[in-house]
Amino acid sequence: MSVSSAASRTPAAAAQPPIGRLLREWRAALRFSQMDLAMEAGVSTRHLSCIETGKAQASREVLTRLADALAMPLRERNALLTAAGYAPKYPETTLDTPELERMQKAIDLILAKQEPYPAFVINRHFDVLQVNKATARIDQLTMGRQSRHKNLLHQVFDPDDFRPVIVNWQEVAEGFVGHLHHEIAVSPTDPRPQQLLDEILRYPDVPTRWRFRDVDKAPSPIQTMRFRSPLGELRFFETITTFALPRDVTLDEMRIECAFPADDHTAAVCERLAEGA
């Protein structure tokens, strides 16, 4: 081992899941055999097998190719590097730091431009990080108050929160469960998605079958949500904005969800609420 490579190793690597277990979990989630992954990454099946069993040390270049082939998010790429004994590559900074100040301004602009329609920012754990004024107005109209939760999944599943005003709750909730199962599959080093699944399944009248991932059901490309309100039913469809080619874990895990009216009545109500505000 060279001095330079030894210097880039971290003592924390011993506490991380072994690289073999990580790669096997990822292959299982994507239904990749060793041969499938080796071909996608441009390495030999024998070399990949030796990496997984600990008989061979993977270089950073090989790890990058494996991560690309598995379409790993940045957090998981860092975990893969750490498990192999290397220092993480991608930083994780908060939006209030000078490095991401421009990104925060861009997010603020997107939320403001979405008016008079709702928009909000969430992370990969479905925590609501920021909302625009239209979101607050719709919350007040439909529920008469703000949500009691900072987590979108709890907002949707809690019968004392948004759940009673969502007309198509079964459809919406099942869609969120599918997204959560995806997060569990692509984040084997993160226990939080599984914890979230356990938490929402404890709410009343949640189907037990949702504990298991439906691998044969593709997620709908468009999520439509219908809300009860004193001004009649409101219908929205949602679009998701992500950051292209992020180089920071925070940006990689952030999503901006924008709701657009699915009918003229909903559009008119949103405009009327904005004028009244």
Task: Give a yes or no: residue 142 inside a domain.
Answer: yes
Question: Is residue 226 located within the same domain as residue 153?
Answer: yes
Question: Is residue 43 located within the same domain as residue 163?
Answer: no
The parent domain of residue 42 ranges over 3-83
DSSP 155-224: HHH-TTTTGGGBTTHHHHHHHHHHHHHHHHHH-TT--HHHHHHHHHHTSTT--GGGGS--TTPPPPSSEE
Cα-Cα end-to-end distance for the chain: 66
Question: Is residue 67 located within the same domain as residue 127?
Answer: no
User: Which pair of structure tokens corresponds to residue 67?
Assistant: 């991560």
Question: What's the mean pLDDT in 247-257?
Answer: 93
Residue 11: band (very low, low, confident or very high) from pLDDT cuts 50, 70, 90:
very low
Domain count of the fold of the chain = 2
Task: Give a yes or no: residue 23 inside a domain.
Answer: yes
Question: Is residue 163 located within the same domain as residue 272?
Answer: yes
pTM: 0.83
Between strands 128-131 and 119-122, the pairing is: antiparallel
Averaged pLDDT of the chain:
89
What is the model's pLDDT at position 167? 97
DSSP 53-110: HTSSPPPHHHHHHHHHHHT--HHHHHHHHHHTT----S----TTSGGGHHHHHHHHHH
What is the model's pLDDT at position 8? 46
> How far apart, in whole angstroms, are the C-alpha atoms of residue 40 and residue 56?
19
Is the model's pLDDT at 10 over the cut of 50? no
Question: What's the mean pLDDT in 133-145?
Answer: 95
Question: Is residue 158 located within the same domain as residue 192?
Answer: yes
Q: Mind listing the pLDDT tens digit for each residue in 179-238?
A: 999 888 888 778 999 999 999 999 999 999 999 987 666 666 678 999 999 999 999 999
3-class state of residue 115 by DSSP:
coil
User: Which pair of structure tokens corresponds to residue 203?
Assistant: 């709410």
Give the list of residues 6+ apart from residue 257 with CB closer than 8 angstroms, or none: 119, 120, 121, 122, 238, 239, 240, 241
Task: Give a yes or no: residue 88 inside a domain.
Answer: no
Q: Mind listing the pLDDT tens digit for each residue in 53-72?
A: 989 999 999 999 999 999 99
Question: Is residue 153 located within the same domain as residue 256?
Answer: yes
